[in-house]
Amino acid sequence: MTNVIACIDGSKAMLSVCDASAWAALRLDAPVILLHVLDKSSYLTGFNLSGSIGLGTREHLLAEMVDLDERRSKLALEQGKYMLQDASAHIIKQSPVVVETLQRHGDLVETLLEQEPNARLVVIGRQGEQHQEQTKAIGSHLESVIRTLKQPILVVMAEFEAPKRFMIAYDGSDTAKKVINRVISSPLLKGLECHLVIVSSNQSQEEAGLASVAASLTEADFNVVTAVCQGEVQTALEVYQQENHIDLMVMGAYGHSRIREFFVGSNTTRMISKSHIPLLLLR
């Protein structure tokens, strides 16, 4: 588990993915692997004329369609090559990290699964190339990536700035404790201000529970701020994030408690689609 894998395409988020990957690679002392996956559905014609031959359709039309697909495939490969070169140059220009490029035909999720054994972090944009004009939409592959991979995933928006403070949505569950342990054991967020936030109506009880967790983070050299918020989970977290200028949200991806239920299934999609800041998803 040594690489930061940056998933890029022709979307507006490409440079943001590059910037976030460069930031993470420096902190993790890891190389960046720029990954571009060529999905045939994005550049092939999609016409199937094989069943029409002999029913009035000229065979030369099928041959021309096959030739067109071959040319489109070559063009997509060439375009991807230049895209990777530009992305690599962008990272090297701003950061002294090792950058490698990888281009594959196939499915993004399957390709990431193949690369996951050597991945320390996966960085991906919220919108892919086909959804970049829909500012509140998420990419067609993103939810599958989040559900499938076990390694941390950093979801970025159209622009990225190195975070100064991050927020952990905590609920005292085993999953939340694992998130704390992963944050403590990784150099990724060291030195950043940590906001440990729980949404509950029982302020005094929750403050006592947060104290021991905050002590563990403080012992690991984090500057910790704790807060107990009231109200509906999503609204409370959004308000806290805005009022305290939080740059990054850290959360567990799946589970069953109140906060974790909020981050499952359609709720995960809603949180990602509404967020204005990057999200670090931990399993």
pLDDT in tens, 84-143: 999 999 999 989 999 999 999 999 999 999 999 999 999 999 865 454 444 445 666 888
Looking at per-residue pLDDT, the higher value among 283 and 214 belongs to 214
pLDDT at residue 278, as a whole number:
96
Give percent of the chain with pLDDT exceeding 90: 51
Residue 65 belongs to some domain of the structure: no
pLDDT at residue 234, as a whole number:
82
Domain boundary among 128, 156, 184: 156
pLDDT in tens, 226-273: 999 988 888 888 999 999 999 999 988 755 555 555 555 555 667 788
125 and 261 both lie in a single domain: no
Q: Does residue 83 have a pLDDT over 90?
A: yes
pLDDT at residue 58, as a whole number:
64
172 and 152 both lie in a single domain: no
pLDDT at residue 254, as a whole number:
56
169 and 256 both lie in a single domain: yes
110 and 151 both lie in a single domain: yes
Model confidence at 225, in pLDDT bands (50, 70, 90)? very high
- 59 contact partners, CB below 8 Å, separation of at least 6: 53
Rg, C-alpha atoms of the chain: 22
Q: What is the pTM of this model?
A: 0.85
* Number of separate domains in the chain: 2
Please give the full DSSP string across 80-110, using - where no structure is assigned: HHHHHHHHHHHHHHH----EEEEEEES-HHH
123 and 236 both lie in a single domain: no
Total count of residues recorded for the chain: 283
Domain boundary among 156, 179, 205: 156
pLDDT in tens, 171-198: 888 888 899 999 999 999 999 999 999 8
pLDDT at residue 87, as a whole number:
95
Residue 113 belongs to some domain of the structure: yes
Q: The domain that contains 197 carries what CATH number?
A: 3.40.50.620
Domain coverage including residue 122: 3-42+75-156
* Average pLDDT for the chain: 84
